[in-house]
Chains A and B, each alone.
Chain A
Amino acid sequence: MLKKISRLLRDHTLFCCIILTVLLILTVITAISLGTAKISFGTVWKIVLHNLFGLFDLEGIKESTKSIVWRIRVPRALLGLAVGASLTLSGISMQAFTKNPLAEPYVLGISSGASSGAVLAMLVGVYLPSGKMMSVALGAFLGSVVSIILVYALARTSGEIAPIRLVLVGVAVSAILRAFTNYLVYTAPAEAAVRQATFWMLGGLSGAEGKDVALPLIVMVISFVLLMIIAMPLNAMMMGDSSAVTLGVNVNLIRKILIFDSALLTSTAVAVSGCIGFVGLVVPHIVRSLVGSDHKKVIPLSLLGGSLLLIWADIAARMIMPPIELPVGIITALFGGPVFLWMIRARKYSFGE
């Protein structure tokens, strides 16, 4: 069974991508149709199609129902798509860069940087020039950017970045930033603010708003195109730097692109959804175990797989015990983990095959 799927995915990647895209569209439709508020399938789609194409008359539909569908559920489903894809693409970039199977989107210290930023925004109350208080999301974004710059600057030696240095510097910077966050939390006068900040970092899509969606989607598309352009050099680099250089690959340039791309993807995702674990680590491995390490196949399939996984995890997070929503990271690890373990055992998969 698995072998068949594997062969199908490898030999007919384009065809499989189309099928997965159709699945993704169906998944988005399902995600928009489900929620704690009971709204009929017909009503949901009348509202969506009305807003998209001006079809149907919305007379008799309550204003609150329209808000729920168009302003809460649609952004949430699209955000799930963008974040799932972003984390997966970022995971691929970092795994390719470090040639380390344990590399994940947060390897550049992004999660601890984002935590510091979020906690700082929440606890200290940073005021922006506009006179408004800095939001936790913006704090997380700035925190992650600061950590990336730190890691990048410290890992660079004579204009080059060695993968192992990057991992080590990432670990050290993470530790420092985490200590800083803990210091802030322990000395913060107000318990309520601490809880808010840590709760925010748990990761999830529940705060999705329409205006949050455009940027992650754009970043996702740009990164996808960028990664597809460098897919062949990435394949060459998997065989070792010297072989890549012989094949005429500018290894240093490709690495810079990978870091930039991963940083952009992850910090955008973190700013809109906190830190969601596991997706960026596991989806690329699952896809590789099925289709091999050709990046031309791994990249599009992972993008679709990541989106699918996160949207379904989010559906589960809000449907398992309504009206309470579980943190989505629990679901991604609880269901993604066993699948991953099964694949490792069934396929005797090892990284870089």
Chain B
Amino acid sequence: MKKSIALLLAVLMCLAMFAGCGKENGGGNDPQKQESTYPQEYVTYMDMKITVNAEPQRVIAANTNTADQLYAMGLGDRIIGVCYKNSLINPKYQAEYDKARIINEKAATLEQLVAEEPDFVYGRSSAFSEKNGTTHDILTSYGISSLSSIEGYKLGADVEDVYTDFEILGKIFNKQDRAAEIINEMKTKISDVENAVKDKEVVKVFVYDATRDDGAYTCGNNFTAKLIRHAGGVNIFEDMEKTWATVSWESVIDANPDVIIINDYGSETLEHKIEVLQSNPALQSITAVKEGNIISVTLCECFASSMTADTVEKFAKAFHPDCFK
């Protein structure tokens, strides 16, 4: 994995250098405008190398949060289909997303992808599985470029990796200005939030995903935990060297979280998840349950998306409401 990051960085640096050269030579009236050159090479999930030969025109968004990123980049008119429509996306683009054609409610098979004749598939790493015969290498052999969003496969992914996603999309689609705009907006929002909460005591947070094996399924040191950190909180299971795990309710009670974040997705409704927490007598001693400090996030909010900074802000408002009056 380290190797893949190093390679990715190397590629990015080369591209940055190219971009830099272009700026010097171009000079003149529009110094901000950066033109992408093709072909471009990237190293993505499973260390696989992918090439983008031209600006993609027929794009498939293989997951909800990657669809969100593409819409945010203003690429809605190039999306020929989406998979896994299982979460709301950024409200700004939701109307457009609602109209998108669904290729498969789950991961698309190779036959479906090839039949759509896309030139670019963008998804979470899970969409590019050996099992379905849809790894990046296999898609490349069919002349289809594809890319995994970094947060899905990189351990310890943070907001920087979301910026990198957008930077890469900017280069691939020759929309580097739009990418820079999104990144700057996010950076500003996150640093504003960090400034607002910086003198506050860190709030203890428990992320509730579901009940499993009579315990709580929760995240450890993953992307959500990083977002919580930016918002002046700490995931009570952050020390766990796993992205996800089932923990005992006892350890939750022992940690006594101030706020609970519920992952709202799948067939179990949010109301039911809240009821599970509020009706469990053992949990009544927890501050978050006592004071009703329970919020929820959609999949798109807690994955790498155009809403990442909004999610940090949402967390901070729940953790430190007095800072945002």
Write the residues of chain A forming the contact surface with B, with a CB cutoff of 8 angstroms: 35-37, 62, 64-65, 67-68, 71-73, 125, 132-133, 135-137, 187-192, 195-196, 199-200, 202, 204, 206-209, 274, 318, 323-325
Contacts and interface: CB of A to CB of B under 8 A. Distances in A.
A72 B110 contact: yes
B272 to A, nearest CB: 23
B111 A190 contact: no
A35 B113 CA distance: 13
A62 B133 contact: no
A199 B1 contact: no
Interface of B: 1, 46-47, 103-106, 108-112, 114-117, 124-126, 129-133, 138, 142, 152-153, 155, 241-244
Given A204-B131, A207-B130, A207-B133, A68 B243 contact: no
Contacts of A204: 131
A291 to B, nearest CB: 37
Contacts of A199: 129, 131
A133 B243 contact: no
B61 to A, nearest CB: 16
A38 to B, nearest CB: 8
B50 to A, nearest CB: 15
Given A68-B111, A133-B46, A191 B243 contact: yes
15 contacts: A35-B111, A36-B109, A67-B142, A189-B241, A189-B243, A192-B126, A196-B129, A196-B130, A199-B129, A199-B131, A200-B129, A206-B110, A206-B131, A318-B109, A323-B108
Given A206-B109, A324-B104, A68 B131 contact: no
B114 A67 contact: yes
Contacts of A68: 111, 114-115
Contacts of B106: 324
A58 B252 CA distance: 64
Given A67-B142, A188-B242, A199-B129, A36 B111 contact: yes
A324 B84 CA distance: 11
B252 to A, nearest CB: 19
A71 B244 CA distance: 37
A209 B152 contact: no
Given A67-B142, A195-B126, 19 more contacts: A35-B111, A37-B114, A62-B117, A64-B115, A68-B111, A71-B142, A72-B133, A133-B46, A189-B241, A191-B244, A192-B153, A196-B126, A204-B131, A206-B109, A207-B110, A209-B133, A274-B131, A323-B104, A324-B104
Contacts of B142: 67, 71
B130 A135 contact: yes
A71 to B, nearest CB: 8
Contact of B111 (A73, A192, A195, A196): A73
A195 B152 CA distance: 13
B242 to A, nearest CB: 5
B130 A36 contact: no
Nearest to A137: B130
Nearest to A38: B115
Given A64-B114, A323-B112, A324-B106, A136 B243 contact: no
A207 B131 contact: yes
A136 B129 CA distance: 10
A54 B121 CA distance: 33
Given A68-B115, A196-B126, A324 B133 contact: no
B244 to A, nearest CB: 4
Which of the listed residues A132, A189, A204 has the most CB atoms from chain B within 10 Å of its own CB? Answer: A189
Contacts of B242: 187-191
A209 B103 contact: no
Nearest to A324: B106
Contact of A37 (B111, B125, B132): B111
A125 B126 CA distance: 16
Contacts of A137: 130
A108 to B, nearest CB: 24
B109 A323 contact: yes
A190 B114 contact: no
B98 to A, nearest CB: 20
Nearest to A75: B133
A196 B125 CA distance: 10
A209 B138 contact: yes
Contact of A36 (B115, B117, B126): B115
Nearest to B108: A323
A8 B46 CA distance: 54
Nearest to A118: B130
